[in-house]
Amino acid sequence: MVGGLISAVVLMPLGPAVAAADRSPTAPASGTLSLERLAVACDQARQRGELQLLRNLQRRLLLASPAPQPLPVVLANADVLLRCGAPDSALLVLDRYRPAPGPEQVQWSLLQWRAANAALDHRLAAEALRTLAAAAGQPLEQLDVPVAQSERGRWQSQAALDLLAGHLDAQGQRQQAAQLLFASRGSGVIRAERLAQAVAWSPDLPLQARLRWLDQALDQAAAARAWGLAVALLDQQLQLLEGKPAALRQPVEQRRLRLGRRLDDNAATSPERVRSPRDPGGHAATPLTAPALQQP
């Protein structure tokens, strides 16, 4: 499966690629640090804050595996440059190779997205996500992309659709980002949060249209029993209705009051049933942004 390919390249060990680099006809001369040793040296330099050493290591990595190289070596070289805090150099290394359609394109595009995302090149990151989805043969909303690695080495993923919306927003293309979210499918909390964000990005839409979209989001939140999210959606409606006639605000205010009391009662009797504000569907809805990759 394509999802397996994506996980495989992100969690790809350096060992096989480094060995391939050492066997390559264009491998560095004897005595030059291997990619694996350079990666360890980068990690240590970053931990100690030795910036000059880090810059020297980044320059050595850029020249460590000159073209032409097979894809595993190119990916390993770019991955180490990312670990070394040099995403722009990682993009230069990736640009030395033109992947074939299919699995190669999936692996290459994923690493290109990681590098562009870390470099805050939102235009290139958006392009890489579209290419990745096309190569994987999956819709953006069904393609989970690893975005951050925990201290234990586990990767957290986010739908490519939401990442693309964040990159569009970062480029000042909020209308396109909103349309992307409005047109998405799905249900429950994810759909509700996407609609809420799309409405927030669409101040030029007529008020009644924004209220209708939020009503749809409320239906999705209620179906998922995400009452904290429902409260946040009602608060969003009330913000839109600020300064409007009481006849428009009163039904929303009453609904908000009833739901707020229900949440308070549940918290008092069964606190384990009330979601944390930071949980999916909690009070604190997380805005869609293009997060910079957290390197291990």
Residue 77, in any domain of the structure: yes
pLDDT for the residue numbered 295? 40
Considering the domain architecture, whether residues 198 and 242 belong to the same structural domain is answered as yes
pLDDT for the residue numbered 266? 59
pLDDT for the residue numbered 190? 95
pLDDT for the residue numbered 264? 63
Considering the domain architecture, whether residues 193 and 246 belong to the same structural domain is answered as yes
Distance CA 28, CA 202 (A): 54
pTM of this prediction? 0.78
Residue 230, in any domain of the structure: yes
pLDDT for the residue numbered 24? 46
Is 60 in contact with 33 (CB distance < 8 Å)? yes
Q: What is the pLDDT of residues 95-140, one digit of tens each?
A: 999 999 999 999 999 999 999 999 999 999 999 999 999 999 999 9
Residue 190, in any domain of the structure: yes
Considering the domain architecture, whether residues 134 and 202 belong to the same structural domain is answered as no
pLDDT for the residue numbered 19? 45
pLDDT for the residue numbered 106? 96
Residue 17: pLDDT over 60 = no
Considering the domain architecture, whether residues 265 and 185 belong to the same structural domain is answered as yes
**Half-sphere exposure for 266 (CA within 13 Å, toward CB):** 15
Q: Which two tokens stand for residue 223?
A: 């179906």
- For residue 144, the surrounding DSSP H or E stretch is strand 144-149
Residue 210, in any domain of the structure: yes
Q: What is the pLDDT of residues 78-87, one digit of tens each?
A: 999 999 999 9
Q: What total number of domains does the chain contain? A: 2
Residue 214: pLDDT over 80 = yes
Name, in order, each residue with C-beta under 8 angstroms of 285's C-beta and a sequence gap of 6 or more: 193, 196, 197, 229, 232
Is 196 in contact with 285 (CB distance < 8 Å)? yes
List Cα–Cα distances, 289 to 85, 135, 230, in angstroms: 21, 24, 21
Is 52 in contact with 41 (CB distance < 8 Å)? no
Residue 15: pLDDT over 80 = no
Residue 151, in any domain of the structure: no
**Other CB atoms within 10 A of residue 174 CB:** 18
Considering the domain architecture, whether residues 19 and 115 belong to the same structural domain is answered as yes
Give me the chain's average pLDDT, please.
82
Considering the domain architecture, whether residues 25 and 116 belong to the same structural domain is answered as yes
Is 84 in contact with 54 (CB distance < 8 Å)? yes
Considering the domain architecture, whether residues 53 and 97 belong to the same structural domain is answered as yes
Residue 181, in any domain of the structure: yes
Cβ-based burial of 250 (10 A; exposed 0-12, middle 13-18, buried ≥19): exposed
Considering the domain architecture, whether residues 36 and 105 belong to the same structural domain is answered as yes
Residue 37, in any domain of the structure: yes
Distance CA 265, CA 267 (A): 5
Boundaries of domain holding 265: 167-273
Q: What is the pLDDT of residues 228-249, one digit of tens each?
A: 999 999 999 999 999 989 888 9
Residue 272: pLDDT over 70 = no
